[in-house]
Amino acid sequence: MCGIAGWADWSKDLSEERSVLTEMTRSIAHRGPDAEGFWLSKRAAFGHRRLIVIDPEGGKQPMLYRDGDQTIALTYNGELYNYRELRRELEGKGHRFKTHSDTEVLLHSYVEWKEDCVRHFNGIYAFGIWDEQRGQLMLGRDHLGVKPLFFAKRGSAVIFGSEIKVLLAHPLVEAVVDREGLAELFGMGAMRTPGLGVFKDIEEVKGGHYVTFTAEGSRTTRYWKLVSRKHTDDTETTVRTIRSLLEDTVERQLIADKPVVCMLSGGLDSSGLTALAGKNFHAHGKTLHTYSIDFVNNDRDFEQDFLRRDQDEPWVRRVSGHVGTEHHSVVFGPDKLIAHLLEPMRARDLPSVGEIETSLYLLFTEMKKDATVALSGESADEVFSGYPWFYQETYLNAEIFPWLLNFGYTSDVLKAEIRDRLQLEAYRKRRFQEAVGEIPFLEGEEELERKQRQMSYLFITRFLPYMLDRKDRASMMTGFEVRVPFCDYRLVEYLWNVPFEVKSIGHIEKGILRRAFEGVLPDDVRNRRKSAYPTTKDKAYLDLISRWMLDILHDPDAPIHALIDAGRVRRIAEGKSLEGSGADARAILDYLVQVNCWLKEYGVKLELGA
């Protein structure tokens, strides 16, 4: 895993622009703490920050391919899980390799197949390729968009990088946010619309897409999408297929030249992956290390709610004992959470959800002390339709993204004139209708099946990108790589057409996955009901974030005054508001504190128009 930065310009000589490229590349030093590399030519300049995982000596970047007058340069972030098979196939076509890295395999894949190379990959990746002979820049991103990639077109130049901060480090790109960007921030929250960078004229390469640029212009190509067809496998065949795919992808994703560990919450998803990984470790005479998160006084403060049925730690110990892992429980208190609240915002270059992302960042900080790579159960709920929303009519019939039904308080604290200008309800509806318009419904489906397919599509293409973005930024901010086996595109393709009634067989969420883990996990663990990512319930956290918000409100120069109804926010921070209290108050204040600090730290210029 790494960080990439680059720049192409068809009318300017870039060969002497090392200082600008250095600033761009070093802005993401956290993504690649092990090495730095640069390559500059007349029309293109590439930078790279490396986190060494495979082939320490052979994977140095940017990597070049030269043959006669042909020069191809690559800067790449990610892992190709099928690089060994691809290498053998390419060798059969006459290619010769100098290293054992997947980087060289990706480069030779482009030499062999050009843009179609992405159709041969199984992995998580974001890359830039400059083809000197064709005068072309190609930016490609993996199927689900696990690894990030942004770009900005400025005149004859294209600037790109792993994170928005790379682009903002270039003198042609300013930190400007217009009405659409603010509508994203306050209408969609952290669940950013794929393809949008929030900052004005900063775009994102969507998952499953690549973009090519030449002197004549640009072209975006979608190389992968979900295709609907009737599911014809019986239940047992479905179970075997899921189990086989998971065993294969876990084995592939354990390949590394650095220590690999597992995240473990005691829930079905992470427990199943831990059991499969643990079996592999035991076969090689090794002990798997696992990590979980907990909070100070959680035994005292825990409260059951809509998404959290019980505490994780008893289940974590149960799974760790069953698999035989060496487990590490990482515990945080409210002081530490508050002290690091802004780190996820700095990692994402945008305001984040808050305390949930802070605790994830802190967990990775601790894990990095022992390892470089981890497996995570992220995305199982999205691809197996595991959320409660999949079977509740209120959410199935809503003409809005289901996760936004309970997300209104933050936008309510905006000034009336700002709300009028942003038209947030209309904005959310437009984004929802765009998503629904993409869905490949299956002819002949009953209305309930259509609604469930629609819900599945929304979660895979709109909610999952946020979850993956959150995990990538929180981990890579600490120079730590997280792999997500449930995002293997083969598994996602297969599950897309498995009916909800089969996915929830046994009248329990992810029932089909529970059956796939028979004999892998103890029955009580397999049958544990879903409990969401943990969050602190300590009232001290709300007190601390409230004080922070009040300090901001007392500062006449705080930039957020231009956006919010200060009186309304003050009532929330003082605990005097009926419309925002408890968990809602904490979410509002978490977000607004970050928005204020983001506006200030990034020097954001707001363009709201007339």
The CA distance from 597 to 22, in Å, is: 26
Residue found under tokens 């089969």: 502
Question: What is the rounded radius of gyration, in angstroms, for the C-alpha atoms of the chain?
Answer: 24
How far apart CA 170 and CA 157 sit, in angstroms, is 11
**Structure token pair of residue 406:** 């309970």
Which helix H or strand E contains 280, and what residues bound it?
Answer: helix 268-283
Pairing of strands 70-80, 176-178: unpaired
Q: Is the torsion defined by CA of 439, 442, 447, 451 positive or negative? A: negative
Q: What's the CA gap between 97 and 90, in Å, rounded?
A: 9
Q: Which of 2, 117, 262, 597 is catalytic?
A: 2
Question: Is 117 one of the catalytic residues?
Answer: no
In 3D, which of 157, 423, 104, 373 has the Cα closest to residue 250? 373
| Distance of alpha carbon 457 from alpha carbon 496, whole angstroms | 8
Residue written as token pair 């397999």:
526
Count of all residues that appear for the chain in the document: 610
- List for the chain the helix, strand, coil content (%; round to 5): 45, 20, 35
At 575, the amino acid letter reads G
What is the token pair recorded at 111? Answer: 């030499």
Which pair of tokens denotes residue 194? 């794929």
Strand order in the sheet with 373-375: 326-332, 289-295, 260-263, 373-375, 481-483
SS3 72: strand
Sequence-distant (≥ 6) Cβ neighbours of residue 41 within 8 angstroms: 14, 15, 71, 73, 130, 132
41 close to 64: Cβ distance less than 8 angstroms = no
Judged by phi (left if over 0) then psi (alpha if -120 to 50, else beta), residue 174 lies in beta
Query: In angstroms, rounded to a whole number, what is the distance separating the alpha carbons of residues 409 and 465?
Result: 23
State the angle between helix axes of 313-323 and 268-283 in degrees (0 to 180), rounded to the nearest 10.
20
The greatest distance separating any two alpha carbons of the chain, rounded to the nearest whole angstrom, comes to 73
Strands 217-222 and 209-214 turn out to be antiparallel
Catalytic residues: 2
